[in-house]
Chain A
Amino acid sequence: MDTKVSPDQVIDAQQVGRSVPRMEGAAKVTGRAEYIHNLRLPGVLHGKVFRSRIAHGRILSIDTSAARAVAGVHSVVTGEDIRRIIPEPYYGPAFHDQPILALDKVRYVGEPVAAVLAADPHVAEYAAGLITAEYEELPAVFNEVEAATSSICVHDELKPAITFPDLKHLKGKRNTNVALDYKLRRGDVSAAFASAAHVFEHEFHTQHIMHTPFEPFVALAEPLDDSVTIHSSSQMPAYVRLEIARLLGWPENKVRARTAYLGGGFGAKVYVKIEPLVVALALLARRPVKMSLTMEEQFYVIGKHATTFRIKSAITADGRIAARKCEVFWNGGAYADIGPRVSQKSGFTSTGPYQIECAEIDSAEIYTNLPPAGAFRGFGIPQLVWAYESHTDIIARALKIDPLEFRRRNILHDGQEHPTGTVMRDAEFDEVLVRIAARMGWDAPFDRGTGTKRRGRGIAIGVKASIAPTTSFALVNVSADGSAVLFCNTIDMGQASNTANAQLVAEVLGIPAERVKVTQADTDVTPFDMGTLGSRSMFHMGHAVRLAAEHARTQLEALCAEGGLTYTGEQSVAQAFRKKFGMQAGNIFGVGHYTSRYQPADPATGMSKEVTPFWMIGGTGIELEVDTETGHVTILRMVNVVDAGRAINPRVVETQISGAALMQLGQTMTEEMVFSSAGELTNPSLAYYKIPGIHDMPATIENEAVEAETRNGPFGSKGVGESGTFGVSPAIANAIDDAVGVRLYSLPLTPESIYRAICAARGEPLED
């Protein structure tokens, strides 16, 4: 909040559509911004975890004696100890499958088995290293396709949470690793393939990825007389409260979850992660307990699904996609987390943004003995777009149709039905393609390079549905001087949501955005919100904030009228309060809430007339150069274009597009969690898990949000945090194909994989 801006300075000027600087900018550049990472409390104990070193095994014994003997150790806790306060210590949003500390079995290398508490974190860490465990080793399964039919089962029995109706049929199921089996059946697919002029079939793979937020997972639990406060770097404080209350059997109001700014989230910090353990340790110790994971430990908490995607298309003689079959296997790891939602909510868009009359999708979440996979910026969409846009490009090239033309011929337009049965609304696919092509000069001659440096270009476009139905609540509190505070649970983890939400309040109240304060989430005072994920907040919370501000304004206008005043913003409100209460006293509360519409999928066909309240669209164009002697790729130009509806804050929208695309660039070129044949992660550190640095940036990057309006969105807007990721990976692979005539089917696109493909294409494969 910038109090230097005078209260009535921008009265009636438009707050929406203005590039208001981030509200927390000064705090972040001076090092003073609040993160839970910084929180210190008197008497706090630090928790350090002992983790499983095997992928699958029955726990025979855990020896904590050496750890307990270390001077300065407060206590050592195992899964059995946790049962003393939480009899059923299993958590998870989709399945209650994850023990707070391993019980009976371990299911992946890195799973927490025991925890040490000490006042000195060095002591706790040292002592944790002295714990040993004996296991009866069990055979393990790592690959998602193998695990789908394997006799090795990660869980003896499936335990779906009650939250999701489409998981009910899995309750109690045994002898399976399939944690969700979404199916879509539309039209006569067999007939379409039988009569197709061309049939194309490919298999694509994506690798395991970790979010690596720079503020690693951190939580601090404070046990109070009959309640607990959890300070956590969480994208979902309301859910933290719900899940901890459920585990403890307490009413929600005895659990308080609060956050500060997040040092990155990207989907890692949704639902609960280390919070149940920290709460359990604090309640057992009757002391505040803080756990700050290291970067290395983060890799054992949550990641992004590796996938195998088998895709098959029937193409008509005039180059139209008549039918598409999609079979997607999602490697969910040992615990489901929100993976089943990823497999379904994203799975139903597996056919891509195209007019396809006959479609068949099988999208399955598979348990394996690897670290859990869940939500990651894009919520599964980047894995799907990688496959369907590589596949689409292969088809266009094989049929000698320009890849842009082939896409435009098949792309969905407003009013047309997506294969799920939902009619497209406010989805500017064609415009996104047109703008990418215009920026790239697609029709102009292109320098293809010479000698060992060959140039190529490629495009790709993807679509994502929002997560529905979900609910947001917001509360606007106007004080007697007319200043406003917004209470909401949307977490600002870098996407500038506080700034955008302040703009919405300001727009409605007719005051400068800089004058609105936004609180940090604290479930004791901020009302319910499902969570900050899946680009849902601008739309859902945006509506709730708008409604809360409108509710406040209605009351403020009435208050002014009661005092014979005309509402003109803060000063008029201050006068009205003084008139009514005789002094500067009182409040006006505006409340608002919003729930998106959704129609559950028909169990037989997987179709629904309303799968999402809005569509996210993102495309990327790439120009690159390949060194044919080494396989090294230089990205010369990256053009990212999205449909974000109407931008509430254009500069923030641009940085969201850019940041998302560059994050996906890392996942395309360098990032990969590499596992040994025993399921051990070999590279859990930024030294060996390579995220993009400043020298990995494209020589030129352009970002654009097309002119668009989301008619059912708040002030015409919709979410944009993920759209920049969609097209990046396939656009690069398509450009590599364009440059050197080789096709890659697996991420990441390492120089060696490209060089090997070049060698293979000329019939001189490089030895292994």
Chain B
Amino acid sequence: MSVATRTIHFTLNGAPVSATIAPHHTLLEVVRDTFGLNGARESCGQGLCGCCTLMVNGQSVSGCLTLAAFADGATVTTVENLAVDGKLSPLQAAFIECGAFQCGFCTSGFLLMATELLESNPRPTEGEIRNHLSGNLCRCATYPEVVRAVQLAAERMA
């Protein structure tokens, strides 16, 4: 298989970066394998579980369904960007406090989605929380704890 590569330039967690990619590479592969950021992970491979969630230009996307080429010129952030100087975000702290994860494999996705929700809707109802997180699956089924954690963080950020 001959592969035509190209170089893309984008902002990753606030820093300008570039990567040499092939058209069939996903953004998830590039974030993980080129930049060693392991918080986003491939699980279902179909954009249904949310383990691969990344933020592109401020919007959540499924990294496993996004071609890396489409990130050229974009701003990309990952779960690794949530804590600032080692200080956890209010949502991260609330997830720990409420026990909103068990195995932790899906947690990055839930955190990014919940962060996105609270940015646009600082006091969501339980229904709005469920709606926004309905595209994220947790096989350990910590959904009740996740909802509580988002509510707790929203209260604290108010």
The answer to whether A and B touch directly, with their CB atoms under 8 angstroms apart, is yes
A: residues with CB less than 8 A from B are 21-22, 24-33, 35, 37-38, 40, 70-72, 122-123, 126, 211-216, 261-266, 294-296, 493-496, 651-652, 654-655, 658-659, 662-663, 665-666, 685-687, 691-695, 697, 701
User: Looking at chain B's contact residues, is the secondary structure mostly helix, strand, loop, or mixed?
Assistant: loop
Q: Which residues of B contact A21 (CB under 8 A)?
A: 96-97
- Cβ of B44 under 8 Å from chain A: yes
Other-chain contact of A655, B80, B99, B108, B130 (Cβ < 8 Å)? B99
Complex partner residue of B78 from A31, A658, A666, CB under 8 angstroms: A31
Whole-angstrom distance from the CB of B38 to the nearest CB of chain A? 4
**Most-contacted residue by chain B among A26, A29, A215, A692 (CB, 10 A):** A29
Q: Which 5 A-B pairs have the closest CB atoms?
A: A31-B39, A494-B102, A263-B105, A494-B103, A28-B104
Contacts A266-B139, A687-B48 aside, 15 further interface pairs with beta carbons under 8 A come to A22-B96, A22-B99, A25-B96, A29-B88, A31-B37, A32-B38, A71-B1, A263-B43, A654-B99, A658-B142, A686-B46, A686-B48, A693-B143, A694-B130, A694-B134
Q: How far is the CB of A695 from chain B (nearest CB, A)?
A: 6
Nearest CB to that of A122 among chain B residues?
A: B24
Q: Verify B139–A213 contact, CB threshold 8 A.
A: yes
Task: Judge if B49 is at the interface, Cβ distance under 8 Å.
Answer: yes
B55 close to chain A: CB less than 8 A: no
* Distance of B68 from chain A, by nearest CB (Å): 13
> Which residue on chain A has the smallest CB distance to residue B37?
A31
Among residues of B, the one whose C-beta sits closest to the C-beta of A33 is B104
Q: Residue B28 at the A interface, CB < 8 A? A: no
Q: Which residues of B contact A (CB under 8 A)?
A: 1-2, 24, 32-33, 37-41, 43-46, 48-49, 51, 78-80, 82-83, 88, 92, 95-97, 99, 101-108, 111, 130, 133-134, 136-137, 139-147
Q: Provide a sorted-by-A list of 11 A–B residue pairs whose CB atoms are within 8 angstroms.
A: A28-B104, A29-B82, A214-B103, A215-B43, A263-B41, A294-B45, A494-B101, A494-B140, A495-B102, A658-B144, A659-B142
**Known contacts A29-B111, A30-B80, A694-B134: does B103 contact A295 (CB below 8 Å)?**
no
Given contact pairs A659-B140, A691-B139, A693-B134, A651 touches B99 in the complex (Cβ within 8 A):
yes
CA of A697 to CA of B141, assembled, Å: 9
A691/B130 in contact, CB under 8 A: no
Once the chains are docked, how many angstroms separate the CA of A470 from the CA of B40? 37
Give the most central of B102, B145, B147: most A CB within 10 Å: B102
Contact residues in B for A666 (Cβ distance below 8 Å): 141
For the complex, would chain A's binding face be called helix, strand, loop or mixed by DSSP majority?
Answer: loop
Q: Most chain-A CB neighbours within 10 Å: which of B37, B48, B51, B105?
A: B105
Bound together, the chains give a CA A697 to CA B99 distance in angstroms of 17
Contact B107 A692 (CB under 8 A): no
In the complex, the answer to whether B92 meets A264 with C-beta atoms within 8 Å is: no
B141, A659: Cβ atoms closer than 8 Å = yes
**B102 touching A655, Cβ below 8 Å:** yes
A662 engages B143 (CB within 8 Å): yes
**Contact (Cβ within 8 A) B51 A26:** no
Please indicate the chain A residues that have their CB under 8 angstroms from the CB of B104 in the complex: 24, 27-29, 33, 261, 263, 494
Say whether B137 contacts A686, CB under 8 Å: yes
Q: Is the CB of B43 within 8 A of A31?
A: no
Assembly CA distance A122 to B29 (angstroms): 11
CB–CB A30/B79 < 8 A? yes
Of chain B, the residue at the smallest CB distance from A19 is B99
Which of the listed residues B40, B43, B96, B103 has the most CB atoms from chain A within 10 Å of its own CB?
A: B103
Q: Is B106's CB under 8 angstroms from A29's CB?
A: no
Residues of the B chain whose Cβ atoms lie less than 8 Å from the Cβ of A692: 141, 143
- B residues within 8 A CB of A296? 45
Docked-complex contact B33 and A295, CB < 8 angstroms: no
How many A-B pairs have beta carbons closer than 8 Å: the answer is 163
Bound complex: CA of A604 vs CA of B104, how far in Å? 47
A666–B140 Cα gap in the complex (Å)?
Answer: 11
Question: A40 to B33, alpha carbons, bound, how many Å?
Answer: 8
Could you say which residues of chain A place their CB within 8 Å of the CB of B24?
122
Which residue of the partner chain, among A30, A35, A496, contacts B92 with CB atoms under 8 Å?
A30
Chain B residues in 8 Å Cβ range of A659:
102, 140-142
Q: How far is the CB of A362 from chain B (nearest CB, A)?
A: 34
Give min CB distance, A41 to chain B, whole Å. 13
Partner of B137, one of A40, A665, A691, A697: A691
Q: Which residue of B lies closest to A493 (CB)?
A: B103
Q: What is the CA–CA distance of A343 and B61 in the complex, to the nearest angstrom? A: 44
Report whether A30 and B106 are in contact in the complex, using a CB–CB cutoff of 8 Å.
no
Tell me the complex Cα distance, A658–B147, Å: 14
Pick the residue among B41, B45, B95 that contacts A215 (CB under 8 A): B41
B56 to chain A, nearest CB (A): 17
* Known contacts A29-B92, A31-B108: A264-B103 contact under CB 8 Å: yes
Give the nearest-CB partner of B80 in chain A: A31
Question: Which residues on A sit within 8 Å (CB–CB) of B40?
Answer: 31
Q: Which of A212, A262, A694 has the most CB of B within 10 A?
A: A694
Residues of B near A27 (CB, < 8 A) are 104
CB atoms of B38 and A694 under 8 A apart: no
Contact of B88 among A30, A213, A214, A496 (CB under 8 A): A30
Contact call B96/A685, Cβ cutoff below 8 A: no
Residue pair B43, A697 in contact (C-beta under 8 Å) = no
> In the complex, A496→B104 CA distance in Å?
11
The answer on a CB contact under 8 Å between B80 and A264 is: no
How far apart are A45's CB and chain B's nearest CB, in angstroms? 15
B38, B43, B46, B108: the one within 8 Å of A216 (CB): B43
B39, chain A: closest CB distance, angstroms: 2
Whether B80 contacts A694 by the Cβ 8 Å rule is no
Is the Cβ of A38 less than 8 Å from the Cβ of B96? no
A662 to B139 Cα, complex, angstroms = 9
Q: Which residues of B contact A695 (CB under 8 A)?
A: 130, 134
Taking a contact as CB atoms under 8 Å apart, the answer to whether A262 and B103 are in contact is: yes
Specify which of A123, A213, A663, A686 is in contact with B141 (CB 8 Å cutoff): A663
Smallest CB gap from A700: residue in B:
B144
Q: With the chains together, A308 CA to B7 CA distance in Å?
A: 58
Complex CA gap A493/B139 in Å reads: 12
Is there contact, CB below 8 Å, between B49 and A214? Answer: yes
How far is it, in angstroms, between the C-alpha of A31 and the C-alpha of B81 when the chains are bound?
Answer: 10
Closest Cβ of chain A: how far from B34's Cβ, in Å?
11
Partner of A697, one of B1, B2, B143: B143
Chain A residues with CB under 8 A of B108:
31
Nearest B-chain residue to A215, judged by Cβ:
B105
A32 to B45, CA, bound (A): 21
B33 CB contacts on chain A under 8 angstroms: 40
**What distance in Å separates the Cβ of A401 from its nearest Cβ neighbour in chain B?**
34
From A25, A264, A295, A662, give the contact of B44 (CB < 8 A): A295
Given the known interface contacts A214-B106, A295-B45, A694-B133, the answer about A30 and B139 at a Cβ–Cβ threshold of 8 Å is: no
Task: State how many angstroms separate the Cβ of A22 from the closest Cβ of chain B.
Answer: 7
Q: B112 → chain A, closest Cβ, in Å?
A: 10
Q: Which residues of chain B have C-beta atoms less than 8 A from A694's C-beta?
A: 130, 133-134, 136, 143, 146-147
State how many angstroms separate the Cβ of B10 from the closest Cβ of chain A.
Answer: 19
**A261 CA to B104 CA in the complex, in Å?**
9
Alpha-carbon distance between A474 and B92 when the two chains are bound, in angstroms? 33
In the assembly, what is the distance between CA of A659 and CA of B134, in Å?
Answer: 17
A295 near B43 with CB under 8 A, answer yes
Q: Which residues of B contact A295 (CB under 8 A)?
A: 43-46
Question: A264 contacts B49, CB within 8 Å?
Answer: no
C-alpha gap A72/B1 in the complex (Å): 8
Cβ 8 A contact of A26, one of B44, B88, B133: B88
> Smallest distance from the beta carbon of B150 to chain A beta carbons, Å?
11
Residues from chain B with a CB closer than 8 A to the CB of A40 are 33
Which residues of chain B are near A213, meaning CB under 8 Å?
103, 105, 139
Measured between beta carbons, the chain A residues less than 8 angstroms from B88 are 26, 29-30
Complex contact A38–B38 (CB within 8 A): yes
Residue among B32, B83, B141 facing the most chain A CB atoms (10 A cut-off): B141
Asked if A212 meets B83 with Cβ closer than 8 Å, knowing A26-B88, A264-B103, A655-B99, the reply is no
